[in-house]
């Protein structure tokens, strides 16, 4: 098992955020099976029990279990291709959908406005507006924005999409600069240089702390 997981980790070519998510799966496999577990000794029953363990022991939602099983299936398929195992015990384990419908909510604009009023500064208000009114991914898309991405005359915003850039024609998209977004960007522009290659966001250590805290708050229940 250890050999398979190390080889998979060393050949992984994904975004840093995706690598972190895959790392959780590698950790789960090591914890459940152990580094020294012979791949030939892992049975289909072991695979089914592992899926159940993810939900019961790790207390993961069904959507998260599905995502991690999808990664496990990818790992074992590569093990077959690399010739370091002969059978795939996870071949028949269902991955399923990775969305959690119970966490979806419609947030009325009035509620968003109240949240923005409670924000500590214009940076927070700007990012919440980009998420709620512009539909940007937080933090990956919002933190890549520069002033040159805003077309004030056409009221449009170019969004860079690192999560989908490997698909043809999906490296970026253009969205309307809705009034709610325009107001926040105007306020932000009064506090920062508006050179085309200057970021809308904070920089350095403050930016990293800011991104992590915003991501954590946006990933919470509801």
Long-range CB contacts for residues 11-19, cutoff 8 Å, separation at least 24: 11/78, 15/140, 15/162, 15/163, 17/140
Tens of pLDDT, residue by residue over 169-202, are 889 999 999 998 888 888 877 655 555 555 665 4
Return the pLDDT at 220.
40
Tens of pLDDT, residue by residue over 2-37, are 999 999 999 998 877 788 889 999 999 999 999 999
Q: Which residue has the tokens 């947030």?
A: 107
What radius of gyration, in Å, describes the C-alpha atoms of the chain? Answer: 22
Taking CA atoms, 56 is separated from 52, 169, 221, in Å, by 6, 41, 19
Domains of the chain and CATH, by start? 2-101 (1.10.150.130), 105-218 (no CATH)
Residues with Cβ within 8 Å of 216's Cβ and at least 6 positions away in sequence, in order, are none
pTM over 0.85: no
Spatial distance between the Cα atoms of 100 and 183, rounded to a whole number of angstroms: 33
């Amino acid at each position: 098992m250890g050999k398979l997981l190390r080889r998979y980790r060393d050949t992984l070519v994904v975004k840093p955020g995706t690598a972190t998510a895959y790392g959780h799966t590698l950790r789960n496999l090591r914890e459940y099976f152990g580094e020294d577990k012979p791949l030939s000794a892992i049975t289909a029953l072991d695979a089914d029990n592992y899926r159940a363990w993810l939900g019961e022991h790790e207390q993961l939602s069904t959507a998260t279990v599905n995502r991690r099983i999808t990664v496990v299936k990818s790992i074992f398929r590569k093990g077959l291709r690399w010739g370091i195992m002969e059978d795939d015990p996870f071949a028949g384990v269902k991955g399923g959908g990775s969305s959690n419908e119970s966490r979806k909510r419609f947030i009325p604009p009035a509620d968003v406005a109240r949240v923005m009023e409670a924000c500590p500064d214009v940076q927070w208000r700007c990012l919440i507006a980009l998420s709620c009114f512009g539909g940007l991914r937080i933090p990956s898309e919002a933190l890549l924005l520069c002033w040159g991405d805003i077309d004030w005359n056409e009221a449009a915003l170019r969004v860079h999409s690192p999560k989908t850039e490997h698909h043809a024609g999906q490296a970026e998209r253009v969205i309307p600069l809705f009034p709610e977004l325009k107001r926040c960007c105007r306020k932000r522009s009064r506090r920062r240089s508006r050179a085309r290659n200057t970021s809308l966001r904070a920089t350095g250590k403050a930016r990293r702390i800011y991104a992590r805290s915003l991501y954590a708050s946006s990933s919470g229940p509801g």
